[in-house]
Amino acid sequence: MSWPAAIAVTLGALIFMEFFAWYAHKYIMHGWGWGWHRDHHEPHDNKLEKNDLFAVVFGTINAGMYIFGAIYWDALWWAALGVNLYGVIYALVHDGLVHQRFGRYVPKNAYAKRLVQAHRLHHATIGKEGGVSFGFVLARDPAKLKAELKRQSQSGEAIVRESAGA
């Protein structure tokens, strides 16, 4: 595979992952995978969460992509690299910046603040139903997310925590 094609496949996979992550978060983690994801939405003092099992599953799939890509189809190897890069970005942004799992950091950058606000609004609902902002790297305007939470609360689609300010 040529370098331009390899770079295109890698970047394509990296970009695709934000949309896959949104889908998986909304329909798997807040669906049939809620049993693993629930503790991520509840206060606790544990270093690890059941939710971290998703990283193990997705990491195993990614490793398989590298292996099969190296043996059978090198485009799959480059796609695995894009998926892997997204995983690193996810860990730094979601686990590091938003949830402060690697130490305290107060974002000063407007984009980083928006990501943190959007994800906090995601955690504003109680239970798996309803909610906003299921992506990890792209975040909608927090004012629009608050309005959507308010609408969901009023319609009974979601139970919103009092501290959320929606």
Helix axes 74-90, 3-23, angle to 10 degrees: 50
161 or 55, which is more confident? 55
Instruction: Please check the confidence at residue 166 and state whether its pLDDT lies above 70.
Output: no
Structure confidence by residue, pLDDT tens digits, 80-121: 999 999 999 988 888 777 777 777 777 788 888 888 888 888
87 or 158, which is more confident? 87
Contacts of residue 69, defined as CB under 8 A and 6 or more positions apart, other chains included, come to 75, 76, 77, 78, 79, 80
pLDDT at 164: 53
Structure confidence by residue, pLDDT tens digits, 4-56: 999 999 999 999 999 999 999 999 999 999 999 998 888 777 788 899 999 99
Last residue of a domain, one of 105, 134, 158: 105
| Two tokens, residue 159 | 């139970």
Last residue of a domain, one of 61, 80, 105: 105
DSSP state of 161: P
pLDDT level of residue 134 (50, 70, 90 thresholds)? confident
pLDDT at 40: 86
pLDDT level of residue 163 (50, 70, 90 thresholds)? low
Do 11 and 72 fall within a single domain? Answer: yes
Do 91 and 131 fall within a single domain? Answer: no
Do 65 and 111 fall within a single domain? Answer: no
Distance separating alpha carbons of residues 11 and 107, to the nearest angstrom: 26
Contact 142, 129 (CB under 8 A): no
pLDDT at 139: 84
**Which ranges of the chain does DSSP label H, i.e. alpha helix?**
3-23, 34-37, 53-71, 74-90, 110-122, 142-155
Contact 28, 53 (CB under 8 A): no
| Two tokens, residue 157 | 């689609």
Q: Could you list the residue range(s) of the whole structural domain that residue 61 is in?
A: 1-105
